[in-house]
Structure 1
């Protein structure tokens, strides 16, 4: 539930993630020649949008009921949701944040209400109406010279909740939270995380199905790009192949591509890079299907890898498998990280973060990175239907880096990957 690598890179290095090839594809689509100009492996991809099954209104109503149970358990009178994934999760409303406050308030009892600019009333109401439980949501509107925060307070007053504890969704912009706090001097504002994360971290069968599909789509796209790439190609153009492949299957997605010494930087470099025969190539990221994310990394070599590359790949492969084998209900999140880190340290690439420079995994769902995290110090026990990345890596500065990342879900008695792991540098898409 933080700024993710995907959004950061999109802002910091748009040339790498939205390169010229993607733009040419749009122009070619207008003339109907796009498929003919693409590499065969990408041109063969089919639109898969009809396969994705949206979350139902009934499931969103169940989520609101669960949120109210957690509000009561945690002593919250209401939770406030600004634009973002959590608003979408509960209400089915995709709404961004600007300088103008728009929030939905879900009380522990009573009808939810919203606050929005007066000129947005109809637009917000039609989106809320998509979920029957939200169709009668009262909207408190404000004009440009009025305080939206007073409208939030007014809504709580109408519910008799002005002096209770109000949960603020953790990604709400500070200026909004501060304004709500000033308008509710008798209320106690707290982080709504016990409610929002308590709901979102445990995935339903429908959510797991969407994540399974998103991961399968990403792996299909990656393989098509891998078959279409070659030495001499720039990493920007390789990323463009992936972007074009996602357009073919019908889902928004992208991937960073790093090669050679730059693969030792986990989130890459903006410096121009050219793929060489025998050099490491590392691709990373995913796509979005009905609001749900995938996040996969693949590391490969065109040509023959060195013995050292093979050895490091084997270590990382074993670390990924060890993390998967360790994850099960009741095990602390930090134990999964420790298990993978021990494999890497015992192989001579420790201690701690010397070469394995990041945690072994992050939660994933409607955000590419969300709670909980598989990291030292997080003693939260795993539970069935939690979902994470499993992504150990070894990064040797000035030489190369190898990361293997697949997404996994916790089962009743263990953990499983959504997709088969990579088995070698030469054949990264051989399924195990």
Structure 2
């Protein structure tokens, strides 16, 4: 049985660390990333790139460091060694985390890190697009000539290497196993919060640091893409929507399943079938060179043919069809009208053309694919039916 019939204790007792973990990103790959970024910076007519704390700092330097009000950044010149800008009191932590050779330049709490960057930078400096406005303004006040580094960073991070694909594949396979176990613990009266705690515990038991996020929605709450405040108790004959993910070496999973707990009626079943067809149409539209927006259009065409929409009107699809995924759970490019980025081998996306019937129910099926030389390849197999969330 795939829905119900088990218990939290039984499921946690039979789950263990992932048997075949993917290798970490090698130093040689990080060095190749730096070289690619340098070439792109030079081609943009700039002299250096400033990479702020967050996913891009981890991508280039291996440092899992979240952004705060204190500037921690990697200055990457076109020529010369990378320079890591950090508070002096964080020196030991940064030295233990960094995975590339880099010069350290330190600042005390009563000193300006922006003056330190201005002293180290030469010529035109491109900024990480995720750098906060206040930091960008402080850098501009030093007199530096600044530019947008999004084109450099996105061009590097959008195309995943085989090593990145392996880490993404592991994260998604782990979450799919956790989703399968979550379906088995369901019973009338179970609280959504209990399921959320179980999913976090299961993600830890299987080898991640826990759930990166988790949404568990029953019945009417499924009509709201990110749920409603407060807890819920599962009742017979309700739809269940579970959306969750974890991280492996910073690489994300993000999988949604929507299925019937009991009998949910003909309308919900018909909408589920349309959703399934829209997800398949989006997948089938993927080819290298095709613009991202064409994938969104392919999914919406299925909905419009069934009398849903058009555009963002409800009943229908209230948001984009998908997003890029990697070290950030949402990252460029996006499967949405207006994003004309050409698909290329190695790009990775969610595929989730949700259908919402306002204030009644919603159906979201979310799996991820990566672009290949000939089309698309799933990371996880799509849901077979409304009664069978797993193959």
* Pair in the same fold by TM > 0.5: yes
Residues 49 and 250 in structure 1, CA contact (< 8 A), matched pair in contact too: no
CA distance in 2, matches of 1:88, 1:405: 26
Of residues 360, 365, 368, the one that matches 2:326 is: 365
Question: Who is 1:276 aligned against?
Answer: 235
Question: Who is 1:18 aligned against?
Answer: none
Deviations, residues 114-145 of structure 1 (Å, cap 9, x unaligned): 222222223323322x33xx2xx222222222
> Alpha-carbon deviation of 1:336?
0.1
CA distance in 2, matches of 1:235, 1:145: 47
Structure 1 or 2: larger helix share?
1
Of residues 289, 312, 331, the one that matches 1:330 is: 289
Question: Who is 1:150 aligned against?
Answer: 115
Of residues 245, 260, 264, the one that matches 2:223 is: 264
Structure 2 counterpart SS, 1:407: strand
Deviations, residues 288-319 of structure 1 (Å, cap 9, x unaligned): 01110011100011112211111000000000
Residues 52 and 290 in structure 1, CA contact (< 8 A), matched pair in contact too: no
Change in 2 beyond 3 A, CA 1:238/1:203: same
> Alpha-carbon deviation of 1:255?
1.7
Residues 296 and 336 in structure 2, CA contact (< 8 A), matched pair in contact too: yes
CA distance in 2, matches of 1:214, 1:428: 19
CA distance in 1, matches of 2:331, 2:19: 25
Question: Who is 2:4 aligned against?
Answer: none
For residues 108-147 of structure 1, what are the structure 2 equivalents within 5 Å? 108-128=78-98, 130-131=99-100, 134=101, 137-147=102-112
Deviations, residues 184-221 of structure 1 (Å, cap 9, x unaligned): x1x32122111100000000000001111111101000
| 1:67 maps to 2:28 | no
Residues 112 and 138 in structure 1, CA contact (< 8 A), matched pair in contact too: yes
Change in 2 beyond 3 A, CA 1:341/1:55: same
Question: Who is 1:196 aligned against?
Answer: 153
Q: So what's the TM-score if we normalise by structure 1?
A: 0.86
Structure 2 counterpart SS, 1:421: coil
Larger mean CA deviation between 380-389 and 253-262 belongs to 253-262
CA distance in 2, matches of 1:274, 1:77: 58
> Alpha-carbon deviation of 1:76?
1.9
For residues 343-362 of structure 1, what are the structure 2 equivalents within 5 Å? 343-354=302-313, 355-362=316-323
Residues 387 and 408 in structure 1, CA contact (< 8 A), matched pair in contact too: yes
Question: Who is 2:203 aligned against?
Answer: 246
Residues 8 and 185 in structure 2, CA contact (< 8 A), matched pair in contact too: no
Question: Who is 1:80 aligned against?
Answer: 50
Segments of 5+ residues of structure 2 without an aligned counterpart are: 1-6
Deviations, residues 357-384 of structure 1 (Å, cap 9, x unaligned): 0000000000000000000011111001
> Alpha-carbon deviation of 1:240?
1.6
For residues 224-239 of structure 1, what are the structure 2 equivalents within 5 Å? 224-239=181-196
Deviations, residues 224-243 of structure 1 (Å, cap 9, x unaligned): 11011112111111112211
Question: Who is 2:350 aligned against?
Answer: 389
Question: Who is 1:51 aligned against?
Answer: 21
Question: Who is 1:307 aligned against?
Answer: 266
Structure 2 counterpart SS, 1:429: coil
| 1:210 maps to 2:167 | yes
CA distance in 2, matches of 1:38, 1:278: 21
Structure 2 counterpart SS, 1:153: helix
> Alpha-carbon deviation of 1:386?
0.2
CA distance in 2, matches of 1:324, 1:211: 18
Q: So what's the TM-score if we normalise by structure 2?
A: 0.95
Structure 2 counterpart SS, 1:51: coil
Residues 277 and 301 in structure 1, CA contact (< 8 A), matched pair in contact too: no
CA distance in 2, matches of 1:363, 1:113: 29
For residues 28-47 of structure 1, what are the structure 2 equivalents within 5 Å? 38-47=8-17
> Alpha-carbon deviation of 1:41?
2.7
